[in-house]
Amino acid sequence: MESVKYHTEKLIAALKESDSYQKYEEVREEIAKDPELKRQLDEYRKRNYLMQAEDVPEDLFQEEEKMSREYKELRENELIETYLESELEICRKIQRIIQKVVVSIDMDIDEFVDDINL
C-alpha cells in the first residue's frame, strides 16, 4: 500500500508540474484579482457542471444554447477562455489516467464497460 501512496503522490506532482496545470494556476491567480470576474466564472462553471451532471436532460441542446447566449460576453474574455481551456485539458488528462487504470486492472466489468463510457 505504501508503494501505491508513493506513486499516487508522484503522479499528483507530475500533473502539477505539467504545462497545462502551470498555465491554469497562472490564469487562476489573475482571475482571483477581479472578484466580480471570479464570481461570474464560478457561476458559469457551476451551471455547466450541473447541466453535465444531470441524466441527459430532455432539453440539453436548448440549455446549452441558452448558456452560450447568456455567457457569450464572459467567454469572449481571453483570460476566462484560457482558464476554461486549461481546466478542460487538465480534466481530460485525469480522465485518461483513470481510464487507463480501470482498463489495465481487471475489474470484471466487460459486460457493461460500454455503458460506463470507458
Residues 86-106, mean pLDDT to the nearest whole number: 91
Nearest Cα neighbor of 50 from 60, 39, 40 is 60
Model's pTM, two decimal places?
Answer: 0.78
Residue 117 in this model has a pLDDT that exceeds 70: no
Note the Cα 42 to chain centre separation in Å: 13
Residue 118 in this model has a pLDDT that exceeds 60: no
User: Alpha-carbon distance 51 to 68, whole Å?
Assistant: 13
Range of weakest confidence among 17-21, 30-34, 89-93, 98-102: 98-102
Positive or negative CA dihedral for 107, 111, 113, 115? negative
